[in-house]
Structure 1
Amino acid sequence: MKALVYEGPRRVAVKDVPDARIERSTDVLVRITSTNICGSDLHMYEGRTDMQPGRVLGHENLGEVVEVGDGVDQVQVGDMVVMPFNVACGFCENCEQGLTAFCLLSNPDPKIGGAAFGFADMGPYQGGQAELLRVPYGDFNCLKLPEDARDVRKQRDYVMLADIFPTGWHATQLACVQPGDNVVIYGGGPVGQMAALSCKIKTTAQTMIVDRHPDRLALAEKVGAIPINDAECDPVERVMELTNGKGADRGCECIGYQAHDPQGHEDPSMALNRLVNSVRFAGTIGVVGVYVPQDPGGANDLAKQGKVGFDFGMFWFKGQTMGTGQCNVKNYNRRLLDLISAGKAKPSYIVSHELPLTEAPNAYQHFDSREPGWTKVILHPDGGGSNPSV
């Protein structure tokens, strides 16, 4: 099968690799029709992780079931399905509590809770930027889609259920966002956009989004968010102005450890500390931006150890609460699917490009460079998506 293979920092290639296949009775084999490039893929693409050369990337995947193992009961050949980026068993202690991002059985490394498709340190599972994907624990990990999912135009919305829509929702859940809240989101990339969309669904009073890319800020306005360009103003001061000096009730961190200032200087603590100063006394913060235990490419010795210079004194003094961690996609994807099906949510507004899998290396380069207009890329391993943009 054709698949996008990681070869080293900023080097990926579409190659012939052995076909994905059923390996256990509970597996499902999916022919991938839509798969996204995620900002998390760029951590590996840039060589900021220990991703092994030869691995297939891709954890935001949708397609048609073409084979099922003997132990699969609910999923059938011909079903259109979308998979969480988490690979979870569904029956360990954490999965029973809905904490599927921290499954205790899916990762063979006993020191790591949780697994994912095509991701460094998250188990041996290949990614879905390929023609075929093996899905372990298929009955649990495959979410069946309505019949309209066969339409590639509708897949633009449904494929967002694999990661970024639930992750944006998760940010607002961790931050305890309620109707009428004032919310500030740091990071206007795809996850930040989905957090803003989630705030719209939850009917917040104000949603402010901090970024410096004009195309991202313009997208945020589409869902009613107030854009704050941190290259033009102090974002903390602007949040205070918009909240009459009180600060936001809730804050969402959707950037992660590669946060940097407008001049390009990397500082993994920047967004976290700005959130502490932007959020009111006794407010809540949700952090879904990726942070890692070790970062050999970090900007300083502290960052290389996966540590940040966090302003804990002010955080404690203000009595704030913070929730963190990867999204438990299964906790949210079915309800978010219903919102899409009912026309209440259309996350595809962020899609800028749909391309065949053969164009993936160029797409990674453009997306990694943060070129204007490259906000979200969908790849079609079946050869669809020949139009350069949506």
Structure 2
Amino acid sequence: MRAVVYEGPRQVSVKDVPDARIERPTDALVRITTTNICGSDLHMYEGRTDFEPGRWFGHENMGEVVEVGDGVDKLRVGDQVVIPFNVACGHCKNCERGLTNYCLTAQPETAFAGAAYGFADMGPWAGGQAELLRVPWADFNCLRLGEDADERASDYVMLADIFPTGYHATEMAGVQPGDQTVIYGAGPVGLMAALSATIRGAAKVMVVDRHPDRLALAESIGAIAIDDSEVDPVEAVLEQTMGLGADNGCECVGYQAHDPGGDEHPNLTMNRLVSSVRFTGRIGCVGVFVPQDPGASDELAKQGQLAFDYGMFWFKGQQLGSGQAPVKKYNRRLRDLIAEGRATPSFIVSHELPLDRAPEAYERFDAREDGWTKVVLKPGLAA
């Protein structure tokens, strides 16, 4: 089968790799019809993680079941499914509590928890930027789709990661009807958080970024765009909230946050959120942070540490939730919002490309070129 293979920093190729296959009775084999490039893939693409050359990416996956193991009861060949990026067993202590983002079975490293397809430090699972994907514990992990799966593939594929992840940010932030919510980052996840805040009834959603194409997308769903290359975003949020600060906020940038001049400051968005959110407000952080980052710009960040304004955070009585999203907690309800036309997450999609154009797509998405907001790869699409 063909797959997007990591060759080294900022170098991927599309080449033949061994076919995915059924390995255990509870597996399903899925022919990938739609798979996305995620901002999290860029951390690995840029060489900032220990992703091994020769492995292939892809944790936002959707496709058709073409084979099932003898232990699969629910799925049938021909089913259209979307697959959470979390690889989860469904029966460990964390999975039984709904914390599929921290599965203890799918992660072979006993000091860690949580697994994902084609992801550094998250188990051996092959990615789905390929023609085929092996899905373990398939009855548990696959979410079946309706008859409109092909027609609305660019909406449903967002259920694999970024739509539930954006929603998880608003869940941890406690967004309620009538709230004023600020979101740092207008990448795909930040835009999904803005969409989610709107769905949850926020009265005012503010999105901080500096890329005009991304800010325009935020405005297209009714959010207030704040360009931090033009204004102090904290002051802008305070001005929008009568000086009190937002009721809650979402961090959707992560450890590679940088200022308008291009210098990295891993603590930039977290500290701005502390300043932007009111006393007793809540913050949901889904931007990726890592225990170690040898390529970081300062010594603290190299050890996965931040110069965090904890004193002000404590003084304001704020609350913070963090970590990857338990996709299964949300994906069924979000699927139904899509099916009923209440949510259209594909508004962020800028390009639908064949798998063979993945190297170009990675290069241009990584460069944050204007107009490259979200890339969807179609393995079955002619080059």
TM-score interval (norm. to shorter): over 0.9
Q: Deviations over 1:153-202 (max 9, x none)?
A: x1010000000000000000010110000000000000000000001111
Structure 2 distance, partners of 1:316, 1:107, is 34
Displacement of 1:99: 0.3
Structure 1 distance, partners of 2:112, 2:71, is 27
Match of 1:12 in 2: 12
Structure 2 distance, partners of 1:175, 1:371, is 30
Match of 2:316 in 1: 318
Q: For residue 44 of structure 2, give the secondary structure of its aligned residue in structure 1.
A: helix
Match of 1:331 in 2: 329
Match of 1:77 in 2: 77
After superposition, residues 300-379 of structure 1 pair within 5 angstroms as 300-379=298-377
> Which runs of no fewer than 5 residues in structure 2 stay unpaired?
none
Structure 1 distance, partners of 2:278, 2:95, is 34
Match of 2:136 in 1: 136
Match of 1:33 in 2: 33
Q: For residue 282 of structure 1, give the secondary structure of its aligned residue in structure 2.
A: strand
Structure 2 distance, partners of 1:282, 1:171, is 17
Match of 2:52 in 1: 52
Structure 2 distance, partners of 1:31, 1:24, is 17
Structure 2 distance, partners of 1:229, 1:119, is 31
Q: Deviations over 1:217-264 (max 9, x none)?
A: 000011110000000000000000000000000000000000000000
Displacement of 1:147: 1.3
User: Structure 1 residue aligned with 2:281, among 270, 276, 283?
Assistant: 283
Residue type matched to 1:56 in 2?
Answer: W
Match of 2:91 in 1: 91
Displacement of 1:148: 1.2
Structure 1 distance, partners of 2:28, 2:205, is 40
Structure 2 distance, partners of 1:264, 1:213, is 13
Match of 1:123 in 2: 123
Residue type matched to 1:66 in 2?
Answer: V
TM-score when normalising by structure 1? 0.98
Identical amino acids, percent of aligned pairs: 70
Structure 1 distance, partners of 2:150, 2:245, is 45
Match of 1:107 in 2: 107
Q: For residue 50 of structure 1, give the secondary structure of its aligned residue in structure 2.
A: coil
Structure 1 distance, partners of 2:312, 2:43, is 30
Residue type matched to 1:129 in 2?
Answer: Q
Structure 2 distance, partners of 1:225, 1:64, is 35
User: Structure 2 residue aligned with 1:178, among 161, 176, 179?
Assistant: 176
Residue type matched to 2:304 in 1?
Answer: G
Match of 1:160 in 2: 158
Displacement of 1:150: 2.6
Q: How many residues align?
A: 383
Displacement of 1:203: 1.4
Q: For residue 148 of structure 2, give the secondary structure of its aligned residue in structure 1.
A: helix
Structure 1 distance, partners of 2:313, 2:353, is 44
After superposition, residues 202-281 of structure 1 pair within 5 angstroms as 202-281=200-279
> Which runs of no fewer than 5 residues in structure 1 stay unpaired?
none
Structure 1 distance, partners of 2:330, 2:245, is 29
Displacement of 1:205: 1.1
Structure 1 distance, partners of 2:265, 2:150, is 43
Residue type matched to 2:298 in 1?
Answer: N
Dislocated runs of 4+, deviation >3 Å: none
